[in-house]
Amino acid sequence: DGEVVDVGSAVTFVGTVSDAEDIPSDIELSWSSSIDGPFSTQGANSNGGISFPVTTLSTGLHVITVTATDSAGLTDSLSISLRVNTPPPAPSIALTPASPTTIDGLQVSVTATADADGDNVSYSYSWTKDGALTSQTAASVSASSTAAGEVWAVTVTPNDGYTDGAGTTASI
């Protein structure tokens, strides 16, 4: 309950059905979303087991409800919440200065793209020096941390509060 998945990812619904009078495979099941409406009538096997994937849920906060109806017409329902999220888009970045000297620090600037779900996007920074990960995690590296002949790269990764999007890397 409350899980977050990326749009287009498979969500596997798993459960067990039982009834005092009917065998599980005779119980009718209806699966619905508060956003997309009915999306399955997948029933249980003879042992009561249910497992099936769905990849077509729209983005947003869903209340997923399964309703079981037995041969006497009696029903029972169970609901869970599920957020389907569009990961934030990769940002455009620029690393400056273009030709740094030993007295220059490095600065990455980010041009944000709107998140498809309207979520606020934050960015994390990961810097490498000559291919090795450093402890630098800010948008800049001071001149005192750099030296002539080094190759620096930064990867900027967006996060919308639910998931990371694809990062963008630039090097100098």
For the chain, the straight-line distance linking the first and the last C-alpha, in angstroms and rounded, comes to 45
Over residues 117-166, the pLDDT tens digits come to 999 999 999 999 999 999 999 999 999 999 999 999 999 999 999 999 99
Instruction: Provide mean pLDDT across the span 17-32.
Output: 96
- Cα separation values, 33 from 38, 39, 69, 73, 115, Å: 6, 7, 18, 22, 23
DSSP3 helix / strand / coil % (the chain, rounded to 5): 5, 50, 50
* pLDDT of amino acid 2: 87
* pLDDT of amino acid 20: 92
Single pTM value for the model = 0.83
Q: How confident is the model at residue 1 (pLDDT cuts 50, 70, 90)?
A: confident
Q: How many CA atoms does the CB half-sphere of 152 hold within 13 Å? A: 32
Instruction: Provide mean pLDDT across the span 89-94.
Output: 97
